[in-house]
Amino acid sequence: MQDILNAPFVREMGKTTANMYRLGWDERNGGNISMLLDEAEVAPYLDTAKVLRTIPTGFDAKMLAGRYLIVTGTGKYFKNVQDDPETNLGVLRVSSDGKNAELLWGYRDGGQFTSELPAHLMSHMTRLSIDPKHRVVMHCHPTNTLAMNFILPLNEKDVTHALWQMCSECIVVFPDGVGVLPWMVCGTNEIGEATAEKMKQFRLVIWGMHGIYAVGSSLDEAFGLIETVEKAAQVYMLIADKPRVNTIRDDELRQLAARFGVTYREDFLG
């Protein structure tokens, strides 16, 4: 067996979590990531027949039975993942009945997966039905995106339109817009179900007064979606209390979408 600490998926998770912590998106133990893996990726590094522990997921994810994931641990600080991945990450396989996670590696201190795993599994299931290349669910608490929640109506049209106007790349990067949920208790199946429902239309979902979820075919794609939203939100917050002399008009947003050939939410424009 090769050393799993050299596995690309472990190294990528370490780099990504370190960047998210550095950017202030994941204070303390805030935030979580899960990434689907193919058995061919895992097999060179782990004996897939050797299950260390079985952990109930609290959710029936039978659609994902037999699928492998690498998942951040509950209560773990993103700043520590790169230095100690075996304690802060886990490689799981969803059991045949979909109700348990079979731990193959990680959570060395007896810990377990993020409390948001049911929400992740629900979103994975939804996105796979839309995009067969889907792999990643990422959740964090970007500062300016969170700040916008307090001064804008919590609905998709107002939030998306405000973000699109802040930077020319926004309508190109997330032409499908941003889904928005009201404040809800986190760590519950209810918020997971609501998020998965929004994921039918959006790759980004804001949890009101909490944070954001992003999905993608890679860690880079999910990270890049959040990064673009957060830059736009930062610009918005810098000018929110100032008179606006210039802006990107709706007709200019349409020109951008046409130039880059993206299908955008036309109902989010005036």
Q: CA 178, 25, 122, 131 torsion: positive or negative?
A: positive
Q: Are the C-beta atoms of residues 89 and 72 closer than 8 Å to each other?
A: yes
Q: What share of the chain is helix, strand, coil (3-state, %, to 5)?
A: 40, 20, 40
Catalytic position from the list 116, 156, 227, 230? 116
Token code pair at residue 91: 């490689």
Q: Among 18, 35, 37, which residue's Cα sits nearest to residue 216?
A: 35
Q: In this structure, how many other beta carbons lie within 10 angstroms of the beta carbon of residue 199?
A: 24
Q: How far apart are CA 160 and CA 179, in angstroms?
A: 8
Q: How far apart are CA 115 and CA 104, in angstroms?
A: 18
Token code pair at residue 8: 């690309």
For residue 116, indicate whether it is catalytic.
Answer: yes
Residues marked as catalytic: 116
